[in-house]
Structure 1
Amino acid sequence: MIPQPTDRLTFRCMTDADLDDMFRLLGDAEVMRYYPRAKSRNEVRRWINWSKDNYATHGFGLWVIEHRTTGDFIGDCGLTWQNVDGQEVLEVGYHVLPEHQGQGLATEGASACLRHGFETLDATMVTAIINPDNMASRRVAERIGMTVWKSTRDPRGAPIVVYSSHGHEA
């Protein structure tokens, strides 16, 4: 099941036909600044396959977000299972093309996904796993009502801040 459209965004499942747009997104050095590196075309293909596997296995994943009126590709946003310190947690994640950043679209999409997690998936907690230096992403998490749960390290040993919400803020 896909989140309801917002005032400016629609959500849809990622498909193989999204390779060019997803490569434009995940292959962009600025978008991926807080990741180890921008993704190659083959890595983006694997990302799409991972998203499709998540839909099949869990009924949710990262969805393509498009502008509701123009149909323009904006990025991806959704919910995935992640491991934090040996605990499986549901995470809201988002990536937005540079030309669409700074317009509140990540916040709008993440808020819809957070609501979807609590209202449709009956989640008890949703997290956001963020590089501590990624202030824009941290602001998104805070704007949607999340608070810092813990600071730890990801599986590669990089520092992360984990925000969480338990539903009453959504």
Structure 2
Amino acid sequence: MLPERTERLRFREMTLTDLDHLADLLGDPGVMSFYPAPKSRSESREWIERMQERYTSDGHGLWIIETHDGEFIGDCGITWQSYNGIAVREVGYHVRADRQGRGYATEAASACVDLFRREFAPGLLTAIIHPRNDASRRVAEHLGMTRIADDRAHPWIVRTVMGLTVEAQAS
């Protein structure tokens, strides 16, 4: 299961051949500024392996997003997350620093909302966002999400949970 192609982007499953690109993306301090720390090459490999496990167990995960001519842009997809002990599906995204601000995250995440509508609706789709991550919050707002809660699972981290109740696609 993959989101459909968009005007500029296509999706595919991650493989270990993506390690160089993902290590650059996830190791970038700017891209990962709202994570505890950038990821090492080894952690990026584990990221790929975890997504491959999710494709098998859940049917979804984060996918590689690239332009139609194959330029690596980042990753985007749907994963199971937890907020305050509640399991929720979340749309997540990372875009290369030199490609941010061009609407790629919104375009890719919108395709994931459409996939959610086809495969999982009705239901709640979330985005769990650091409160100071204004760019990610704007992407979620463009998707129609609004703040529904704060995640206080970790006393030292508070994350804003934005959500969208997605209705089933009309037949």
* Structures share fold, TM-score greater than 0.5: yes
Identity of aligned residues (%): 48
Instruction: Tell me if structure 2 keeps the 8 A contact 1:19–1:44.
Output: yes
Bigger shift: residues 110-119 or 45-54: 110-119
C-alpha displacement of 1:157: 3.4
* 2:112 counterpart residue number: 113
Q: Which residue of 2 aligns with 1:167?
A: 166
- Does residue 57 of structure 2 align to residue 57 of structure 1? yes
Structure 2 equivalent of residue 90 of structure 1: 89
Asked if the contact 1:10/1:67 (under 8 Å) is kept, the reply is: yes
Tell me the residue number matched to 1:44. Answer: 44
In structure 2, relative to structure 1, the CA distance for the partners of 1:51 and 1:111 (3 Å cut) is same
Superposition deviation, residue 123 in structure 1: 5.0
Q: 1:122 to 1:141 in 2, by over 3 A?
A: same
Query: What amino acid does structure 1 have at the position aligned with 2:156?
Result: G
Alpha-carbon distance, 1:163 to partner: 0.3
Structure 2 stretches lacking a partner, 5+ long: none
Moved more, 115-124 or 9-18: 115-124
The runs of at least 4 consecutive aligned structure 1 residues that moved more than 4 Å come to none
After superposition, the C-alpha distances for 1:89-122 in whole angstroms (9 at most, x for unaligned) are 0000000001110000000001110111121233
Q: Does 1:137 align with 2:144?
A: no
1:11 aligns to what?
A: 11
Aligned partner of 1:18: which letter?
A: D
CA deviation after TM superposition for structure 1 residue 156, in Å: 6.6
| 1:28 matched residue in structure 2 | 28
- Looking at structure 1, the residues matched to 156 and 57 of structure 2 have their Cα atoms a distance apart, in angstroms, of 28
**2:101 — aligned with what?**
102
Cα displacement string for residues 55-111 of structure 1 (whole angstroms, at most 9, x for unaligned residues): 00011000000012x310000000000011111000000000011100000000011
Q: CA deviation at 1:142?
A: 0.2
1:6-50 Cα shifts (integer Å, max 9, x gaps): 001000000011000000100000000000010000100110011
Other-structure match for 2:77:
78
Equivalent-residue separation in structure 1 for 2:155 and 2:66 (angstroms)? 32
TM-score, normalization by structure 1: 0.95
Q: Distance in 1 between matches of 2:146 and 2:63?
A: 24
Structure 1: gaps of 5 or more residues? none
Aligned residues: 168
Paired AA for residue 52 in structure 1: Q
Is contact 1:154–1:160 with CA below 8 Å preserved after alignment? no
**Partners of 1:78 and 1:20 in 2: how far apart?**
20
